[in-house]
């Protein structure tokens, strides 16, 4: 028996969400009194692979091949499922990232395994059961999902588990997989990078703005504040509908769900559909000129005032602190 | 071109979410159900593509007769026919298995789902379907165009997007941006009444997971207001919580 964890890389580098899933999977391996095997696909330097030992991996499997340089979800899920079978894994852990969302359901079907997506807790294994919590109804409720199959697949929500360094060592092995030609039907034509901005789904801090900002020309101060805080930029739906900002920044019930440690909402009223995508943020700060804006009801800190005065002051205060 | 659009019937976005039976069942009392917003844009795009390519759009729902009104709305928006698989879904695996069993031998070129249902928020059905039918899947799709027998899809990735070329057949879960919402017109509403709505009995499937309990998220302690003349206080508070690293 073992626990298998898949660690994504971006252009050969592991990300914080990868260390989160490792730490989470390590705790599960400890609960089950078994080994933790990490799997990496793509071109990652040997030292980086070895470094996974420091987050709890006992063994690292690596698969590196020319046609796997970019993500192809059919091929990747086939490899992960093969590695799971090969290591006799009873639990398979991934990140609930865009990539993980494409992989986990396919792996679950291959392994005839129940899937808990967006997991926000460790499994509760009392009474021989296996129960994991996740957010449902757009974060208006939490579900206790019992997985009843022999193998379990868990996709961990970003920012839901703390990274723990164990100081351990891992051995690195190549993993031989059986390629299937039909797994390579999807051709990647182009990858368009949205510059070097902080990516929204796994950002630790998000600075978000709404229609209160009046127009796209006023986003300079939002971007400046975000850059100072190392934060990603987000917006409300009407803002992206009006093409003031791109669709991929829209958070809420019909946009991206985020759960950062800090969410700063500026000039956003706090409609229920907006809150749905941000309510699992650890700390919420609201800046709004209307003291009755509904957003204040779910905020931890609030300032009633004009964004056009307050945001420049915030920027100045952060700058002063940093210098 | 034959397109299948999978439709879920979900509580209206403003629904207050409560539970009954010791927090084990969602309280459907007084809840208004709607066509899942993401499925609505999947349908809107499917209708546009079918118009361009002389195709047909079938909408399919796994569930009971309560969803028939939602299926009629989908027909009014422009679907050609509707199918309902008459079963109470237990988990995404169950739903995907039913859809796969139905779609298997129907020759659909493209199967669209929403990126997620706003009730159980899984982003699971699209990729599960792809796996069950052994065809490519893209779970979060921002754009779909067709070139001959190939779909050109844009997929959202962290910090950017990827442009993919995928031969028919494939499954795509649609996100905001693939199409604008379509409001049914009078002609659509009239013709929806006479379009076929086929009810199919389910296949036997054992779910692999189940929800055993619900809980409400911890409510926040009331907001601490900071005076607009003391912005620095907010920064101090955030710093004391470790947010402002150098
Ligand atoms: C099916 C459905 C799905 C939806 N999905 C989403 C979703 O995913 N995400 C989403 O965001 N919305 C969604 N909505 C829309 C949602 O209901 C609200 O309309 C939207 O969130 C409002 O955006 P806003 O707060 O930016 O704008 P408004 O509601 O117009 O609020 C602007 C706020 O700015 C404040 N303000 C004005 N001037 C200033 C100033 N100078 N300084 C500071 N504050 C100022 C105002 O007091 C006000 O509170 C959805 C709606 C529906 C029906
Ligand atoms: N009961 C259902 N019947 C048909 N399609 C469904 C059903 N439930 C979910 N879907 C489809 O699967 C998508 C993703 O749902 P989910 O994986 O539950 O988030 C939805 O947007 C629908 O397109």
On whether any CB of chain A is under 8 Å from the CB of B12, the answer is no
pLDDT tens digits, one per residue of A22-60: 999 999 999 999 999 999 999 999 999 999 999 999 999
Interface test with B, best of A102, A123, A182 (most B CBs within 10 A): A102
pLDDT for A192 equals 86
3-state secondary structure of B140: strand
Domain that includes residue A28, residue range: 2-184
- Of A186, A253, A299, nearest to B166 by CB-CB distance is A186
Q: Read off the tokens for B142.
A: 């921002």
A170 and A225 both lie in a single domain: no
Ligand 1 centre to CA of A269 (Å) is: 5
**How does residue B4 score in pLDDT terms, banded at 50, 70 and 90?**
very high
Please state the ipTM of this predicted complex. Answer: 0.91
Domain that includes residue B179, residue range: 2-200
By alpha-carbon position, which residue is closest to atom 36 of ligand 1?
A212
Q: Domain for residue B34, yes or no?
A: yes
A147 and A269 both lie in a single domain: no
pLDDT tens digits, one per residue of B190-243: 999 999 999 999 999 998 999 999 998 887 778 999 999 999 999 999 999 888
Give the other-Cβ count within 10 Å of B105's Cβ.
Answer: 6
Q: Domain for residue A77, yes or no?
A: yes
Q: What is the mean pLDDT of residues A128-157?
A: 95
Q: Which of A184, A219, A249 is the last residue of a domain?
A: A184
| Cβ neighbours of B147 in A, within 8 Å | none
CA–CA separation, A58 and A33 (whole Å): 13
A241 and A316 both lie in a single domain: yes
Interface test with B, best of A123, A227, A248 (most B CBs within 10 A): A248
A214 and A310 both lie in a single domain: yes
Task: Give the CATH number for residue B114.
Answer: 3.40.50.620
Say yes or no to pLDDT of A322 above 90.
no
DSSP strand pairing (A262-266 vs A232-235): unpaired
Q: Domain for residue B151, yes or no?
A: yes
B contact residues 140-179, partner A, Cβ 8 Å cutoff: 140, 142, 152, 155-167, 170, 175-177
pLDDT tens digits, one per residue of B161-173: 899 999 999 999 9
A222 and A310 both lie in a single domain: yes
CA–CA separation, A64 and A48 (whole Å): 14
pLDDT for B112 equals 98
- Of B126, B158, B176, nearest to A254 by CB-CB distance is B176
Say yes or no to pLDDT of A255 above 90.
no
Q: What percent of chain B has pLDDT over 70?
A: 99
CA–CA separation, B119 and B123 (whole Å): 11
Q: Domain for residue B94, yes or no?
A: yes
Q: What is the mean pLDDT of chain B?
A: 94
pLDDT tens digits, one per residue of B129-142: 999 999 999 999 99
Q: Domain for residue A61, yes or no?
A: yes
CA–CA separation, A187 and B30 (whole Å): 47
Q: Domain for residue A110, yes or no?
A: yes
Q: Domain for residue A37, yes or no?
A: yes
pLDDT for A195 equals 65
A130 and A13 both lie in a single domain: yes
Q: Domain for residue B65, yes or no?
A: yes
A218 and A125 both lie in a single domain: no
B97 vs A248 pLDDT, higher one: B97
pLDDT for A138 equals 84
pLDDT tens digits, one per residue of A57-114: 999 999 998 888 878 899 999 999 999 999 999 999 999 999 999 999 999 999 999 9
pLDDT tens digits, one per residue of A166-208: 999 999 999 999 888 889 999 999 988 776 677 888 899 999 9
The CA-atom distances, in angstroms, between B147 and each of A192, B150, B152 are 20, 5, 7
Give the other-Cβ count within 10 Å of A300's Cβ.
Answer: 19
Say yes or no to pLDDT of B8 above 60.
yes
Say yes or no to pLDDT of B13 above 90.
no
A170 and A130 both lie in a single domain: yes
pLDDT for A159 equals 85
pLDDT for B246 equals 55
pLDDT for B182 equals 83
Say yes or no to pLDDT of B154 above 80.
yes
Q: In this structure, are residues A76 and A183 in contact, taking their beta carbons and an 8 Å threshold?
A: no
Q: Which of A80, A77, A14, A83 is nearest to A43 (CA)?
A: A14
- Asked, as a colleague might, if the bond just before B169 is cis with ω within 30 of 0, I would say yes
CA–CA separation, A46 and B84 (whole Å): 52
- Closest approach atom of ligand 1 to CA A307: 42
Q: Domain for residue B141, yes or no?
A: yes
* Cβ contacts of A82 within 8 Å, gap of 6 or more: A177, A178
Q: Domain for residue B128, yes or no?
A: yes
Residue of A nearest to B214 (CA): A143
Task: Give the CATH number for residue A220.
Answer: 3.40.50.1220
> Are B207 and A135 within 8 A, CB to CB?
no
DSSP strand pairing (B150-157 vs B160-167): antiparallel
Q: What is the mean pLDDT of residues B43-54?
A: 95
On whether any CB of chain A is under 8 Å from the CB of B218, the answer is no
Domains held by chain B: number: 1
Q: Domain for residue B215, yes or no?
A: no
pLDDT for B231 equals 93
Domains held by chain A: number: 2
A173 and A219 both lie in a single domain: no
A151 and A274 both lie in a single domain: no
pLDDT for A29 equals 98
Task: Give the CATH number for residue A121.
Answer: 3.40.50.620
Say yes or no to pLDDT of B159 above 80.
no
A94 and A123 both lie in a single domain: yes
A266 and A301 both lie in a single domain: yes
Q: Domain for residue A192, yes or no?
A: no
Q: What is the mean pLDDT of residues A133-142?
A: 91
Name A301's bridge partners: A285, B224
| Cβ neighbours of B90 in A, within 8 Å | none
- Closest approach atom of ligand 2 to CA B116: 19
């Amino acid at each position: 028996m073992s626990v298998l964890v898949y660690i994504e890389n971006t252009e050969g580098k592991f990300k914080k969400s990868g260390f989160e899933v490792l730490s989470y999977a390590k705790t599960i391996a400890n609960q089950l009194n078994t080994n933790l095997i990490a799997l990496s696909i793509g071109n990652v330097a040997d030292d980086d692979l070895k470094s996974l030992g420091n987050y709890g991996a006992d063994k690292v499997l690596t698969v590196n091949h020319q046609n796997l340089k970019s993500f192809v979800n059919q091929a990747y899920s086939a490899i992960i499922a093969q590695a799971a079978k090969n290591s006799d894994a009873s639990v398979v852990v991934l990140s609930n990232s865009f990539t993980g969302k494409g992989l986990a359901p396919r792996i679950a079907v291959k392994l005839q395994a129940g899937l808990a997506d967006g997991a926000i807790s460790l499994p509760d294994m009392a009474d021989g059961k296996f129960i994991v919590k996740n957010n449902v109804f757009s974060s208006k409720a939490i579900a206790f999902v019992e997985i009843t199959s022999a193998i379990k697949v868990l996709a961990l929500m970003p920012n839901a588990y703390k990274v723990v360094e164990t100081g351990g060592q891992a051995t690195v092995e190549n993993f031989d997989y059986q390629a299937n030609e039909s797994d390579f039907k999807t051709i990647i034509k182009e990858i368009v990078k949205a510059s070097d901005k902080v990516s929204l789904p796994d950002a630790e801090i998000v600075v978000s703005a709404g229609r209160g900002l009046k127009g796209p020309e006023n986003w300079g101060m939002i971007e400046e504040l975000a850059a100072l805080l190392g934060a990603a930029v987000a917006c409300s739906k009407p803002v992206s509908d009006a093409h003031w900002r791109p669709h991929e920044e829209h958070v809420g019930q019909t946009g991206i769900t985020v759960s950062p440690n800090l969410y700063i909402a500026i000039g956003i009223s706090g409609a229920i559909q907006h809150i749905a995508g941000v309510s699992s943020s650890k700390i919420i700060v609201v800046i709004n000129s209307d003291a009755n804006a509904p957003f204040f009801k779910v905020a931890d800190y609030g300032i009633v005032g004009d964004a056009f005065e307050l945001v420049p002051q915030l920027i100045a205060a952060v700058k002063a602190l940093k210098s | 071109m034959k397109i299948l659009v999978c439709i879920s019937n979900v509580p209206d976005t403003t629904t207050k979410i409560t539970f009954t039976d010791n927090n084990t069942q969602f309280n459907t009392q007084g809840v208004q159900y709607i066509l899942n917003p993401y499925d609505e844009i999947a349908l809107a795009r499917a209708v546009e593509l079918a118009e361009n390519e002389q195709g047909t759009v079938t909408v399919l729902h796994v569930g009971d007769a309560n969803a028939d009104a939602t299926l009629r709305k989908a027909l009014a928006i422009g679907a050609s026919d509707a199918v309902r698989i008459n079963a109470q879904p237990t988990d995404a695996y169950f739903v995907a298995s039913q859809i796969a069993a139905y779609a298997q031998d129907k020759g659909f070129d493209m199967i669209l789902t929403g990126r997620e249902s706003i009730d159980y928020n899984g982003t699971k059905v699209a990729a599960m379907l792809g796996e069950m039918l052994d065809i490519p899947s893209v779970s979060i799709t921002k754009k779909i165009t067709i070139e001959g027998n190939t779909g050109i899809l844009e997929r959202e990735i962290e910090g950017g997007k990827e442009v993919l070329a995928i031969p028919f057949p494939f499954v795509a879960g649609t996100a905001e941006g693939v199409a604008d919402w379509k409001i049914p017109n009078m002609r659509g509403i009239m013709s929806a009444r006479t379009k076929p709505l086929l009810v199919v009995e389910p296949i036997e499937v054992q779910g692999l997971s189940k929800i055993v309990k619900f809980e409400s998220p911890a409510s926040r302690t009331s907001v601490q207001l900071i005076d607009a003349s003391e912005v620095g206080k907010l920064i101090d508070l955030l710093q004391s919580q470790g947010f402002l690293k150098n």
